[in-house]
Amino acid sequence: MRQDAFTGGVDPGGLWNQNDIRILLCYILHSVGSPLSGEELSQILQRKALANYFEAQDALAALEARGNVERDSAGRYQVTPAGREIAQTLDATLPLSVRDKALEAALTLLAEERSHRENRVEVVPQEGGYQVTCHISGGEGMELMAVSLYVPDSAQAELVRQRFYQAPDRVYKLLLASLTGDREMAQSILEERGE
């Protein structure tokens, strides 16, 4: 495979060829089936060190110029029929590990965005610390639960916020199991997390 792309920030096994980067971008957009912003596409590639940031930006611009991707009204990229054909016929030229890592990163990113959209965390400074309130949504404006706790510093408040957004459904299930005395359910949730 010919190397014609910068390799800075790319792990071994990542993509060092401009054509492969273009194929991967089409593959990601086709596989997730929803539009993604340029920033989101960059995050996907950077999280797994699959391609150089600048090469990925150039590849995205080239795909748009060639009509393989287009922007929707919100400026997010979506694959065109021509780009879909590229993804379907040429994705096998990419290493399976690269495709798997890219898809994993894309699905993780979409799950994180959904979690932030549907749930919220409020951090309010208090005397000597912070009050952190986590709200879990049931969708369509319904709040399933809100839990509030005090932490002594901003670092812990940020840690609580980050961990909550990683798995708000798990937080809800664990608290429900604890409050209802369902030890089996609580144990299975903790085992699921490897704790």
* Sequential pLDDT tens for the chain (195 residues): 455 454 555 556 667 688 899 999 999 999 998 899 999 999 999 888 898 888 899 999 999 999 999 999 999 999 999 999 999 988 888 889 899 999 999 998 888 888 888 899 999 999 999 999 999 987 777 888 999 999 999 999 999 999 998 888 888 899 999 999 998 988 888 888 655
Cβ neighbour number for residue 143 with a 10 Å cutoff: 11
- Taking the C-alpha atoms of residue 99 and residue 96, their distance in angstroms, rounded to an integer, is 5
Task: Check if the beta carbon of residue 153 is closer than 8 Å to that of residue 130.
Answer: yes
Cβ neighbour number for residue 57 with a 10 Å cutoff: 16
- Alpha carbon dihedral 90, 92, 95, 98, in 10-degree steps, equals 70
Distance of CA 134 to the CA centre of its chain: 20
CA terminus-to-terminus distance, the chain: 43
Which of 30, 11, 10 is CA-nearest to residue 22?
A: 30
pTM exceeds 0.75 for this model: no
Sole residue written with tokens 């990683």: 166
What is the model's pLDDT at position 91?
82
Which of 16, 14, 22 is CA-nearest to residue 2?
A: 16
Q: What stretches of 58-98 adopt beta strand conformation (E)?
A: 69-71, 77-79
Q: Name the amino acid, one letter, at 133.
A: T
- Taking the C-alpha atoms of residue 173 and residue 41, their distance in angstroms, rounded to an integer, is 32
